[in-house]
Amino acid sequence: MKRSLTLAMLLALSLAPAARAANEADYKAAYAAAETASKEAAGMRNQWTVTVSALAAAKKAGDGGDFDRAIAAAKEAEALAKASTFQATSEKEAWKAMEIR
Amino acid sequence: MASSIRVRATSNGDITEVQTLIQHPMDTGLVKDAKGELIPAHYIQELKFECNGKDVFVANWGTAVSKDPYVKFSFKGAKKGDDLKISWTDNKGGSDTITAKIA
Amino acid sequence: MKARIALLLGSLGAALVAFAFASPRVVAADKVDPVTDAKAFQNFFFQKFPDVKHEDFVNGPYSMNEDMKRQWREKEEFPPYEFALDAGKEMFATPFKNGKTYADCFPNGGIGIRQTYPYFDEKEGKVVTLELALNRCREANGEAPYSYVKDEMASLTAYMAFTSRGKPMDIRIPDDPRALEAFENGKRYFYTRRGQLNFSCASCHVQSPGQRIRAEILAPALGILNAMPIYRSEWSGMGTTSRRFVTCNSQTRAVPLEPQAEEYRDVEYFLSYVANGLPISGPGARP
C-alpha cells in the first residue's frame, strides 16, 4: 500500500502545469479541489497533520501571489487528503488483521 | 500553598545523605509561549544547604538546570536530629526556605 | 538444478496454501466477546514476555528493561509527581463555592475508586471516564471545567489514582448492546492505522513493546492505562490519558481528536477492560 500511495502522490505532483506560469484561477481551482478532499478526510475523522499544513502553505503562497508554489502545495494537499481517505476506507476492514485473538 | 522544597535527609553512621526536589519553572528566557512571546528568564541563582550554622552545599545555578530540579548529595559531620536548612533565591528575587531534621 | 526449481515452486505453493488457510481467520469471528478478547489480549503479552511478572506490566517500559527499572526504583523514592499529588489532595478536599466537594460526586467519597473508571453509563448510553466525571462534577456545582489534558485535571486524577494503588482494575461491561458496541468501537480504534506514518496504537504497543523508538522504550499495551496519569520528563509535567492519546495521534501525523471524544473514551474503555485484574499503579513517572 505504501508504494501505491507514493506513486499516487508523484502522479498528482507531476500533473501540475509546468509549461506556462500559473494564474489565480488555476490556483483557486486547485485549492478548492484540495479543500474538498481534505474536508472529506476530516469527515471520516482521519485528517493528517501534513494535509493541514500543505493546505495552509497553499493559502499563504496564494495570498502572496506566488501561484506556482500555491498550486504545487494545493496538489500535494489534495494527494495527501486522498491518501488519508484511502487509508480510512481500507482500514474499515483491514484493522482486523492486527487484532490479537 | 505547601513549600516548594521537598527534602529527605538520612544519617548513616558518619555520612548524611540528602535528597531534595524543588518546584521551580527554571525558565531559560529562550522559550516562547503559545502566543509566540518569549517567556522571561526565571531561574534559581543560589541554592544553599546549611547544617549547624555551616554551609555544606552551595550551588550557583544558571538556566541550564532543568525544571523542578532534583539534587542528591552526601556530607560528613552531622548526626541524627540535627537541623538542615535549605534555601534558594531566584533571579526575580523570589526565595523559599525550609528546615528539616536529619533522620 | 531442476530439482532445486521444483523445490522452490513446491515451497512457494506451500506458502500460498498456508496463506489461503491463514487469511479466513482475519475476517471470521465478528461477534463481540469481551471476555475472550481480554483473555487473548493478556495471554498474548504473558506469552511474549514470560519473564515479566503479570502485575509488573502496569509499570510500562520499566517492566521491559532492567536498567530502566533500576533507575525508576531510585526515582520512585522521590517521585517527580509528588507536587501534583499534594496539589491534587488539597484541591480534592477544598469545597466548591456552594460548599460541596468532589467527594459528594463519587461513590465512597472518591477514595479508592479509580479502578472502576471508565464505566459505561446505561442511562446515557456512553462511556464515562474519570476526567469526564470530574468535570461534570465541577459543572454541576457551578464551577468552570478544567482542561482535560494536564495541570489541575492531572493533579486531581493523580490523587484519586494514588488512593486506589494496588487495587485490581475492575471494569464492567453491562449487558447492554450499546456497551458492547462501545467496547468494539474502542477495539477498532486501537487497531486501526492512521496518520501519514500509517501506525495504529497496536503497531507500537502490541507489536513492539520493549523495543526502542528513538531513545524511548515502548510500553506494552497491557496495563498501560493503570499508571495514568503520568509525569513525563519529556513534557516536564503531568499528563492525563487524554494527553497521551492526543500526542500518540500527532506523532503518527494524524490530526488528534478533541480530548474526551467518543473514540478516545471507547478506546480507554477497551484498554482498561482488557487490563482487568492488573493493579492500579498511577500516578506514574515516565521518561
A47 and chain C in contact, CB less than 8 A: yes
Residues 6+ apart with CB under 8 A from C48: C209
pLDDT digits (tens, 9 = 90+) for B30-67: 999 889 999 999 999 999 999 988 999 999 999 999 88
C77/chain B closest Cα distance in angstroms: 9
Please state whether C45 falls in left (phi above 0), alpha (psi between -120 and 50) or beta: alpha
Residue B99's SS3 state is strand
Chain A residues whose beta carbon lies within 8 Å of the beta carbon of residue C29: 101
List the domain range (segments joined by +) for residue B42.
5-29+37-101
List the helix and strand counts (H, then E) for chain B: 0, 7
pTM for this entry: 0.81
Q: What is the CA radius of gyration of chain A?
A: 15
Chain A residue numbers touching C255 (CB-CB < 8 A) = 42, 47-49, 52
The dihedral built from the CA positions of residue B43, C236, C84 and B19, taken in this order, carries a sign that is: negative
A17: cell is 502545469
For range B71-76, the mean pLDDT: 92
* CATH, residue B53: 2.60.40.10
Active site residues of C: 248
- Identify whether the C-beta of residue C263 lies closer than 8 Å to the C-beta of residue A45: yes
Cβ distance C78 to B19 less than 8 Å, yes or no, reads yes
| Start-end of H helices in chain C | 2-27, 34-48, 66-76, 82-93, 130-140, 151-162, 177-191, 201-205, 241-251, 262-274
Q: How far apart are CA B35 and CA B38, in angstroms?
A: 9
Q: Which residue of A has its CA nearest to C274?
A: A100
Asked if residue C273 lies in contact with residue C42, where contact means CB atoms within 8 angstroms, the answer is no
Task: Please give, rounded to a whole number of angstroms, the shortest distance from the CA of B48 to a CA of chain C.
Answer: 20
* Residues 184 through 213 of chain C touching chain A, CB cutoff 8 Å: 187-188, 191-196, 198, 200, 202-203, 206
For cell 548513616, name the residue. B12
B-proximal residues of C, 31-50, CB under 8 Å:
none
pLDDT in tens, C210-221: 898 888 889 999
Split into its structural domains, chain B has a count of: 1
- How many Å separate Cα B97 from the centre of its chain? 9
Name the neighbours of B, counting chains with at least 3 Cβ pairs within 8 A.
C
| Residue C279 preceded by cis peptide, ω within 30 | no
DSSP state at residue C107: G
Mutation target vs C (from A9, A90, A101; most C CBs, 10 A cutoff): A101
Measured over all CA atoms, what is the biggest interatomic distance in chain B, rounded to whole angstroms?
A: 54
Are the C-beta atoms of B40 and B32 separated by less than 8 Å? no
User: What are the tens digits of pLDDT across the range A1-30?
Assistant: 555 656 555 555 555 544 455 688 888 899
- pLDDT means per 10 residues, chain C with 287 residues, are 49 46 46 88 91 89 88 85 90 91 91 93 93 93 88 92 94 92 93 94 92 89 93 88 92 93 93 93 89
Q: Please tell me whether the interface predicted TM-score (ipTM) of this complex is above 0.90.
A: no
Count Cβ neighbours within 10 Å for each residue of C90-105 and write b for 16 or more, e otherwise: ebbeeeeeeeebbeeb
> In the structure, do chain B and chain A come into contact, i.e. share 3 or more CB pairs under 8 Å?
no
If you measure CA to CA, which chain C residue comes closest to B25? Answer: C236
Which chain C residue shows the shortest CA-CA distance from B24? Answer: C83
Q: What is the pLDDT, as a whole number, of residue A1?
A: 53
